[in-house]
A and B are shown apart, each in its own frame.
Chain A
Amino acid sequence: MTTEKYKEQRIGYEMLKDSENPMMKGLRNWLERVFRTLDEGKPIVYNEFTFWCDTMTALDVQPLAPEMWGQVPMPAAQEPCLDAAQDFGIPPEMCWAGRYVIGATLLGDRIPPPTCIVVPTYPCDNCKAAYQVVAKLTGAPMYVLDCPYWIEDDEEAMDYWVDQYKGLLSFLEEHTGKKLDYDRLKETVEESNRFIEYWLEGKELMRRKPLPTNDMFGSPVEILTSIGLPEATQAIKNRLDDLKARVARGETAVPEEKVRVTWNYLPVLWSLVEIFDWMARELGAVTTMTIFDGTSFEPIDTSTPESIIRGMARRALHGYMARQGRGSSDIIIEDTLRAVEEYQADCIIVNGALGCKWLRGSYGYLRDICRERGIPVMMFDADICDARVVSDDEVKARIGKFIETVIERKKRGV
């Protein structure tokens, strides 16, 4: 019985039970579904943490994003898994995401074993390499979606990518025993179109000055666990309604907004959003957006099975981190600069996750352009999930000093 296993997640589930926060509710519902799936002996499909679960929703199979699983109840619970991976020979410089999944697999009792695994070749070497280890250790069949590097305006590249999606659907059918029903797929995608509509509306409100709330609007929770289900759409609608209500009441994130920050990357997960709250509270620095907010999507045309699959494939390319990690530095740079403009940001902060080679490799170019344009930018070293690498205090010290300089520049009218 699952109640005897996966203690951390069970504790997390209990902690989330009374939360009214729509995101936390979504997380709790997901955990509940995973536990039920395990109890019923049904298939569990690992979806790597940048890969949308819409195909799994359509097939009515249970997605489990291991990296999200490891966040419950808190990232610190991952530490034994990170250590286990290192003992196995995985270098400590690898991203937490890969080390966690490998370590959890090695420990055996930390994560439900997969029936099958789905992983794209984005956003990075780490994910692609780590899941090969997981596939080897578990013996689970793995499907890799091979994403072209240059795909913008290249229909042949898009055709290749769409074929990956078609292959995925066949793979899931084969290994889960489920048969794809195109009406169900259409229904799922139309539901996800509604989700995206609310999400885009919320993003628009988050561009207001002053910022209506410092709470993150965009989140990976629904993307990874339930997009295409009515509950996901309801969750984002609830967030949107709350946001609209705040705007109607004239409420703002802070009494006095001194600095607006663009944070076009993952938050520091080991402190959840505490760093953002501290910045707002202590420095008057509001976080306008994170990488979860950074992209726009077109609604998917659901008139034919081909248009649906093509639309899903195209949409996946622009998901968080998929978009920024799959191609050249052009993308992260353009997106960050656009975010500065759209969110009327005063500065850019990036937590330079030590394991994130694609991000850190782009920073020098972003820094140059920001210098030319007079946009203050800072990257600080940290681990996304392992608080033992760089502490809260060190992070706050770096951010604090940076925000001070931004405030000074603003006073001088620079």
Chain B
Amino acid sequence: MTVLQELAKLSDTLINPYMERWKKKGGKIIGYHGIYVPEEVIHAAGMLPYRLRATGSTSSELGDVYASSTTCTYCRHCLDQAMRGEYKFLDGFVSFHGCDHLSRSFDAWRYGKVPTPYSPFYLRFLDIPFKINARSVKWMQVQVERFKRSLEEHFGLTITDDALRQSIKTYNEQRKLLRSLYEMRKKEKPPVTGAEVLALVIASTSMPVEEFNEQFKKVLAEVNGRDGFKDYRARLLLVGGTLEDPEYIRTIEELGGLVVIDALCVGIRHFWDLVDEDSEPTAALAKRYLDRSISCPRMVDYERRLKFVSDLAREFNTDGIIVQRMKMCDNWGCDSAMIKRQARKEGMPCLILEREYLMSGVGQMRTRVQAFLETIRR
């Protein structure tokens, strides 16, 4: 098995051998949602940040007791997993006001509807601003500092500035490594598929960052040695919210649409920007986590998001854009419509695919993607 394959496998399960070893050594794991929770703060506390997924969930029956039929299925499945005790390996959980669905799901944890390995369990809900300006970055810094203090108080430890600086350096290294892989995808014959990349990004959120960085250098060497993929009908930019199943991308790529770049939540939105290593750590984290090149549609900087998507499509020489949006997501409901409108104006073919958390309606999806690829002339 190659190192790439080994790392990619980590996306198949909630827990993996790296995490098991971490726990065995007495390490703590803090789960979090989304892209706005500063991983460095958790890491500087000596804990493993773990981006929450609902991998392995087959139904949301239990989660539906507190979610509604109009809650997005990502949240319903995560809540279901939580209520079934599948996240018992966590030592704490951090969320934020990402959207109404996430916020209401977090209430289940607060109200004791989720079994936890100890009590009182560490829960934190970050108050992330929706705007990006000097004032909101200052407010974001307050959130980062409060988050840091809450970890210190709950777990009885100290997070020093030096520890934060070191964590920032380490995570920046991870980001640079991932970006270097993405750079290779600009080639006419990209050496890696979109499905593989998604699996690797998921792996980066599910294991100790130092070990990931070490292994990922080997992945880059392996990938560098590949001939690259040339039998594709179109180069695609895949945009959208949380997507944790590489099989989804594989389905598109089997039809000839090679995903050469993404603007996914578990993709460049997660890691693209670096933290300034020369500034005061909490200020630097606040700036980087809030003021991103491409934000989540929860944010109100829609013009910048649209421009970034447009520039990205050009930079990676894409032939078309596919936007996958989770059903019931108002944020993505609006963003996807605006992306399509912009793409149309720029003469870029664009397809919107609505989906649920679990892969379903695959036949219909294949038909639509196939028809879309046929409209693209390379």
Q: A residues within 8 Å of B by Cβ?
A: 88-91, 93-95, 98, 102, 121, 124-126, 128-130, 132-133, 135-136, 142, 144, 146, 148-150, 156-157, 160, 163, 167, 328-330, 352, 354-358, 360-365
Q: Determine the distance from Cα of A150 to Cα of B110 in the docked complex, in whole angstroms.
A: 14
CB of A94 within 8 A of CB of B330, answer yes
Identify which of B101, B108, B127, B337 contacts A150 (C-beta below 8 A). B127
Q: Which residues of B contact A136 (CB under 8 A)?
A: 302-303, 306, 338
Interface hub of A144, A157, A329 (most chain B Cβ within 10 A) = A329
Identify which of A128, A328, A357 contacts B328 (C-beta below 8 A). A357
Q: Determine the distance from Cα of A133 to Cα of B300 in the docked complex, in whole angstroms.
A: 10
Closest to B136 in A: A146
Q: Which residues of A contact B303 (CB under 8 A)?
A: 136
- At the interface with chain A, which of B5-13, B66-74, B148-156, B174-182? B66-74
Q: Which residues of A contact B336 (CB under 8 A)?
A: 89
Shortest Cβ gap from A133 to chain B (Å): 5
CB of B142 within 8 A of CB of A156, answer yes
CB of A355 within 8 A of CB of B70, answer yes
CB of B70 within 8 A of CB of A328, answer no
Identify which of B71, B107, B327 contacts A365 (C-beta below 8 A). B107
Q: Determine the distance from Cα of A19 to Cα of B226 in the docked complex, in whole angstroms.
A: 78
22 contacts between A and B (CB under 8 A): A89-B340, A89-B341, A91-B330, A91-B333, A93-B327, A121-B130, A133-B338, A136-B306, A146-B129, A148-B139, A149-B127, A156-B139, A160-B136, A160-B139, A328-B107, A328-B125, A329-B107, A352-B68, A357-B68, A357-B101, A360-B71, A365-B108
Within 8 A of A (CB), among B123-138: 125, 127, 129-131, 135-136
Q: Which residues of A contact B371 (CB under 8 A)?
A: none
Shortest Cβ gap from B301 to chain A (Å): 9
Q: Which residues of B contact A352 (CB under 8 A)?
A: 68
CB of A129 within 8 A of CB of B103, answer no
Within 8 A of A (CB), among B31-66: 65-66
> With contacts A362-B107, A365-B111 known, is A133 near B334, CB below 8 A?
yes
Shortest Cβ gap from B104 to chain A (Å): 3
> With contacts A125-B330, A157-B127 known, is A91 near B107, CB below 8 A?
no
Q: Give a binary string over B297-336; 1 marks a CB under 8 Å from any A CB, 0 the rest.
A: 1101011001000000000000000000101111101111
Identify which of A150, A355, A361 contacts B125 (C-beta below 8 A). A150
Q: Determine the distance from Cα of A129 to Cα of B125 in the docked complex, in whole angstroms.
A: 22
Q: Which residues of A contact B297 (CB under 8 A)?
A: 129
Within 8 A of A (CB), among B282-302: 297-298, 300, 302
Asked if B255 is an interface residue, CB under 8 A from chain A, the answer is no
Known: A129-B330, A129-B331. 14 other contacts (CB 8 A): A89-B337, A90-B337, A125-B329, A126-B330, A144-B131, A148-B129, A149-B127, A167-B135, A355-B330, A360-B69, A361-B67, A361-B100, A361-B101, A365-B108
CB of B66 within 8 A of CB of A365, answer yes
Shortest Cβ gap from A389 to chain B (Å): 12
Closest to B340 in A: A89
CB of A358 within 8 A of CB of B135, answer no
Shortest Cβ gap from A364 to chain B (Å): 4
Asked if B270 is an interface residue, CB under 8 A from chain A, the answer is no
Q: Determine the distance from Cα of A354 to Cα of B330 in the docked complex, in whole angstroms.
A: 12
Q: Which residues of B contact A88 (CB under 8 A)?
A: 337, 341
Shortest Cβ gap from B325 to chain A (Å): 8
Q: Determine the distance from Cα of A364 to Cα of B68 in the docked complex, in whole angstroms.
A: 8
CB of A358 within 8 A of CB of B136, answer no
Asked if B105 is an interface residue, CB under 8 A from chain A, the answer is yes
> With contacts A121-B130, A160-B135, A357-B71 known, is A328 near B334, CB below 8 A?
no
CB of A358 within 8 A of CB of B334, answer no
CB of B70 within 8 A of CB of A93, answer yes
Asked if B273 is an interface residue, CB under 8 A from chain A, the answer is no
Shortest Cβ gap from A333 to chain B (Å): 9
Q: Determine the distance from Cα of A292 to Cα of B97 in the docked complex, in whole angstroms.
A: 25
Closest to A161 in B: B139
Q: Determine the distance from Cα of A210 to Cα of B181 in the docked complex, in whole angstroms.
A: 72
Q: Determine the distance from Cα of A126 to Cα of B335 in the docked complex, in whole angstroms.
A: 11
Q: Determine the distance from Cα of A142 to Cα of B130 in the docked complex, in whole angstroms.
A: 14
Q: Determine the distance from Cα of A97 to Cα of B114 in the docked complex, in whole angstroms.
A: 33
Q: Which residues of A contact B300 (CB under 8 A)?
A: 121, 128, 132, 142, 144
Within 8 A of A (CB), among B177-210: none
Q: Give a binary string over B91-118; 1 marks a CB under 8 Å from any A CB, 0 the rest.
A: 0000001011101111110110000000
CB of B100 within 8 A of CB of A125, answer yes
Closest to B300 in A: A144
Q: Which residues of B contact A355 (CB under 8 A)?
A: 70, 330
Q: Which residues of A contact B127 (CB under 8 A)?
A: 148-150, 157
Shortest Cβ gap from B16 to chain A (Å): 31
Identify which of B68, B130, B354 contacts A361 (C-beta below 8 A). B68
Q: Which residues of A contact B341 (CB under 8 A)?
A: 88-89
Closest to A133 in B: B334
Shortest Cβ gap from B47 to chain A (Å): 23
Q: Determine the distance from Cα of A91 to Cα of B127 in the docked complex, in whole angstroms.
A: 28
Q: Which residues of B contact A328 (CB under 8 A)?
A: 103, 106-107, 110, 125
Asked if B163 is an interface residue, CB under 8 A from chain A, the answer is no
Q: Determine the distance from Cα of A361 to Cα of B65 in the docked complex, in whole angstroms.
A: 10
Closest to A381 in B: B69
Closest to A363 in B: B68
Q: Determine the distance from Cα of A365 to Cα of B341 in the docked complex, in whole angstroms.
A: 39
Asked if B352 is an interface residue, CB under 8 A from chain A, the answer is yes
CB of A364 within 8 A of CB of B65, answer yes
CB of B330 within 8 A of CB of A98, answer yes
CB of A146 within 8 A of CB of B131, answer yes
Q: Which residues of A contact B330 (CB under 8 A)?
A: 91, 94-95, 98, 124-126, 129-130, 355, 357
CB of A149 within 8 A of CB of B97, answer yes
Q: Determine the distance from Cα of A337 to Cα of B331 in the docked complex, in whole angstroms.
A: 31
Identify which of B97, B130, B325 contacts A144 (C-beta below 8 A). B130
Q: Determine the distance from Cα of A121 to Cα of B130 in the docked complex, in whole angstroms.
A: 7
Q: Determine the distance from Cα of A363 to Cα of B71 in the docked complex, in whole angstroms.
A: 12
CB of A358 within 8 A of CB of B104, answer yes
> With contacts A89-B336, A149-B125 known, is A358 near B66, CB below 8 A?
no
